[in-house]
Structure formats: structure tokens, C-alpha cells
Amino acid sequence: MAQKYDMTIGGKSVMADSYIDIRNPANTDEVVGEAPVGTSAHLDEAVSAARQAFESWRYSSEDERIDACQAIVKVVTDNAEELAVLLTKEQGKPLGGLGSRFEMGGCAGWAGYTASLSLPDKVLEESDEKRVVMKREPLGVVGSITPWNWPLMIAIWHIVPGIRTGNTVIIKPSPFTPLSTLRMVELMSAALPKGLINIISGGDELGADLTSHPGINKIVFTGSIATGKKVMASASEHVTPVTLELGGNDPGILLPGTDPVPFVEGLFFGSMINSGQTCGALKRLYVHENDLNLTAQALVEFSKNIPMGDGMDESSLLGPLQNDRQFNRVTELVEDAKAAGAKVLIGGAPIGGANFFYPVTFVTDISDGVRLVDEEQFGPVLPIITYKDLDEAIQLANGTHFGLDASVWGVNRDETAKVAERLEAGTVYENKHAEIAPHIPFGGIKCSGFGVEFGEEGLAAYTSIKVINAAV
């Protein structure tokens, strides 16, 4: 019998009436564990536990908040290997490389850095007439909704700034990868005051209930644009503030005449990190028409040395797609591209068997207007698109409703800087892609999101401003 994982509400383990099997995407015959199907009654219970905890936590000192965040660092560090193994089994990413252990390192790094941030009172005016001080106050109960691609790291990105600023948190993980988050929060909750962090698990409808609940004072959502729009609409009912980290379709432009070899590793992992299932991965590559063959060949050759396999195998560097929905979507996008006349250089069809493996795939003879270029593929498939001049490349890169990240690659740094200025995205990289850090604000523009995470700007999103304007 597979292990059952429970929800944690108000510091207690809470069972559900029903459970769903969570299967290993590298071998779908294997049930990794059973996840509870929480209901709106569990949500109400979690809201009341979080509200009760907020009544004292809102008055906690800076030291108490820092200690709580440090307790989280200790939990994710002390239990890193157990959580990494569970994450690999349910999510599919390898233990090594840029996989589960890397994700656990990110959890500790983000939690530790966020603990060290602060938002001190700001004196705006001190005169003979008045003293005006701007304070940052917690919002209340934060509702966090997370996706299945980097479930633990994203959970940490939502939880820790919430706690650090005096809020309490309820998290609802993705129904595709709930187990590792259920376990991580169970461990965290045992190290923190009761009700500070609560977890309910269930389907999409539970997420919808969370976003419209009157007892939630802030929503932080990471997921698709389609769901993000629903979250924003639902949050409007109670004018609940939202942070939305949504999908991306990041372009990369290789400057004309660039030798691809020095950049091939950065291009490859910028695109294929987590088998392409990363919001800020490189998803469209624009190369000058004269450079197509060399660039495509360099990427194909590099890919042959990157093993894809079961994440529990220490030699794997890439894992499967996480779920059947994503597997079918990637398969469909590649078939659609083929039908539109695109050429597949390597990969291009599922590996087969009881799993969601899809091989690394590079596609040429494709342009904007084909779904694989226009939509977010979220898989290990990169379309390489040719351009005639840089103006055209920039226009194509910007010609989308996405605006998460973008990148420009080349040895002429004046030129890369000029192109970077013209690319429309929350982050523009030069000669790299998909590099995030806890001190660097991150967020999308256009339909890729609303608000930022990380750094002081990200922390401030968990607070409201209160001004004390005192006559003297």
C-alpha cells in the first residue's frame, strides 16, 4: 500500500475523506503516494486556524520572524535528501544536475536570504510641524497556489516572505505534485507556532475556492496565464491583492555571425532546464539565416551527451514530462509543427512505454504563426527560427502577449546591450538565460504576470503601507 500524506491545519495532521494516487512520471505503474482531496470545509478550517495565528503573529518582533524563517531553513536543510527523493519520484526531475537536490538548495538559499531582508519604517518628513512615518504592515492570511514544475522552491518563494512580514499562510499545491509540499509543510509546521503555515490539498476547484474566500487577504499565484486570469477575476470579489507569476514564451536572439560553440551549453540548459518545464526557460531561438546550420548542429551535438532517464538514476540529467496533460500537449505541438512543414533535427516523438518521457527535440524550418512558436510549449522542444536582420528579430521576439524573460547572445557587448534595451520582458539576459536569485526582483510584464517576487520589492508585496502623520 502506498503511503498516505495528510494536510496540516493549525499544527495538526488532518485526513480527508478521499485520496488520489500520485504516480511516478518516469514509470506510471508506480504509485508514489496518496494525496488527500481537501474540501471547502477544510479550507474554512485552514482559514480560521491561520486567522487565529495571525492575531498574535502580526505583533511578532523582527527577531521572532527571522527565527521562524531560519527554522524553515533548518527544516529544508535537515530533510533535504528525503524531500529531494520524494520530489524526484512525483515530479520526475533528476536527483542530480539542475534537479531535486538543486531545488532543495534553492529552498534553503531563498529562505535564508529572505530572512535577512527587512522593511524598516521610513521617516518621510520630520519638521517643526509634523513627523510623518511610513510603516509596512502585514496583510493577514496569505493564500498561496503553486504549480507542478518547481513545487518546493515556489512554495518557499510564497511562504517565507509571507511569514517574514508577519502574515500567516495557507498553501494549496498542484494536484499533480502535492506530496513533497505536504511533507515539507508538515515538517515546517512542527518547527513553527501553530497555524502559521497550513496546507490543504485538492483539485483546481479548491484553488478557485481559496481565491474567492473572504478570509484570505492576499493571493500569490504561480501557474498558467489562463488560470491567472481566473484568479484575478475571482480575487476582485473581495478586492484581494494578487501577485501573479504566469507563463512565459521567452525568446532568445543570437546576434548575426555569432559562433554558437561558446554559447551552446548556456543555450541548451537555458532552454532544457527541468526538461523545458520552467516558466523562464528559453522557448524560441532566433538565429540569422546564415547561422542556422552551425547553430542547430551545435545544439544537436551537445544534446547527445545529456542523459535523459529515471530521475532516481544518478546519471540522469533530464527527466520526463510531469503529467499526461503536458505530455499530450508537447506531442500535439510537435505534430502540428511537422504538419506545417517544420523539420525535426533530433527527437520529435515520444520514447514510448508507461512513462511521460519526451526526448530533447530541435525544430527548424518554422516561423511565427505556428503553435510551437506562438504558444508556451513547456517541454524539451526548441524551435529555431531564422531572421534576416536584427530589427526583424527584435520585432518577432516582442510580437507576443508573453513578457517574462528574453535573452540576447553574442560577443559584441555594445550590440548585446543595445538589443537588451529593446527587448520587452521582466528580465533580459545577455549571454545567459533562466538565472534567478533571491536578491533580484523577478516577474513578468504583459500577460506573464503582475507584480514581482524576491528582493525588497518582492517582500513589500506581502505588506500594506500605513502612514502615521503626527502633528508636533
Give the footprint of ligand NAD on this chain (CB under 6 A).
145-149, 172, 174-175, 204, 207-208, 211, 222-224, 227, 230-231, 245-248, 279, 376, 378, 404, 444, 449
**Which H helix or E strand runs over 110?**
helix 100-116
Least separation in angstroms between residue 149's CB and ligand NAD is 5
Q: Are 296 and 362 in contact (CB under 8 A)?
A: yes
Distance in angstroms (rounded) separating the CA atoms of residues 59 and 167: 10
Name the residue nearer to ligand NAD (CB basis): 209 or 291: 209
Q: Which of 90, 245, 376, 453 is catalytic?
A: 245
Residue count of the chain, please give it. Answer: 472
Report d(CA 4, CA 407) in Å as an integer: 43
Cβ distance to ligand NAD smaller for residue 183 or 288:
183
Which residue in the block uniquely carries the three cell numbers 544534446? 303
- Quote the least distance from Cβ 255 to ligand NAD, whole Å: 27
Query: Distance between CA 219 and CA 141 in Å, rounded?
Result: 9
Shortest distance, position 323 Cβ to ligand NAD, whole Å? 8
191 contacts 116 by C-beta, under 8 angstroms: no
Query: Which residue, 69 or 246, has its beta carbon nearer to ligand NAD?
Result: 246
Q: Which is nearer to ligand NAD, 71 or 425 (CB)?
A: 425
Nearer to ligand NAD, 149 or 189 (CB): 149
Is 245 known to be catalytic? Answer: yes
Write out the DSSP string of 407-462: EEE-S-HHHHHHHHHH--SSEEEES--S---TTS-B--SGGGEES-BSHHHHHHTT
**Smallest distance, Å, CB 404 to ligand NAD?**
6
For residue 346, the cross-strand partners are 362
Measured from the CB atom, the residue of 92 and 166 that comes closer to ligand NAD is 92
| Degrees to nearest 5, angle at CA 20 with 17 and 26 | 160
The verdict on whether 447 is a catalytic residue reads no
Cβ partners under 8 Å of residue 276, min gap 6: 283, 377, 378, 379, 380, 381, 382
Shortest CB 417 distance to ligand NAD, Å:
25
- Quick check: 371 and 362 in contact, CB under 8 A? no
Which residue type, as a one-letter code, is found at position 360?
V
Return left, alpha or beta for 352; rule: phi > 0 is left, psi -120 to 50 is alpha, else beta: left
d(CA 380, CA 347): 9
Beta strands 343-346; 361-364: pairing state: antiparallel
Q: Which of 69, 107, 279, 447 is catalytic?
A: 279
Closest approach, Cβ 61 to ligand NAD, in A, equals 31
CB of 220 to ligand NAD, least distance (A): 10
What phi and psi, each to the nearest 5 degrees, are found at residue 37? -105, 95
- Is 426 in contact with 449 (CB distance < 8 Å)? yes
Greatest distance between any 2 Cα atoms in the chain? 78
Cell of 57: 503573529
Angstrom distance (rounded) from CA 100 to CA 32? 16
Nearest to ligand NAD of 140, 143 (CB atom): 143
The catalytic residues are: 245, 279
